[in-house]
Amino acid sequence: MFSYKRRVKYYETDRMGVVHHSNYLKIIEEARLQWCNENIMDYKTLEKQGCIIPAASACENFIDYLRFDDPFRVEVTLKEYKGIKMTFSYKIYNEETGKLCYTGESSHFFAKEKGGEQYLPYISFRKDFPEIHKRLTAIAK
């Protein structure tokens, strides 16, 4: 499990003063990219090597509210890794109260740049990025 921490920004809240539901996807993306940076490699470097990791699905459960300036923690777990696809689970906690505010999951596949803006979907990390495959296999155990 990996933890990502920060505070709620004002622009992430709605008129009721709580984090707007659409911003949770952005928050978990920030946390997942930080997870990638620390566990795989810098995402920008990965893209320079011709690999991207698009989202295939996401689901969310809203349990409690986060408000402007609340400190929070996102727990990111690599739930499953299959060589061509990986699934993450997320839990967001209010750091002051300890309350669980959100749970979610996202699935992602690996694509490789074919040329320009074209990508070959569902590449095999085992074959095309063996070192990263080893790291992901070890983390997913």
How far is the C-alpha of 36 from the C-alpha of 85, rounded, in Å? 14
Q: Which residue has the tokens 């946390």?
A: 31
Q: Give the CA diameter of the chain.
A: 49
CB under 8 Å to 15, separation ≥6 — which residues?
Answer: none
What is the distance between the alpha carbons of residues 74 and 96, in angstroms, rounded to a whole number? 13
Residues designated catalytic: 14
Distance CA 43, CA 4 (A): 16
C-alpha span between 92 and 137 (Å, rounded) = 25
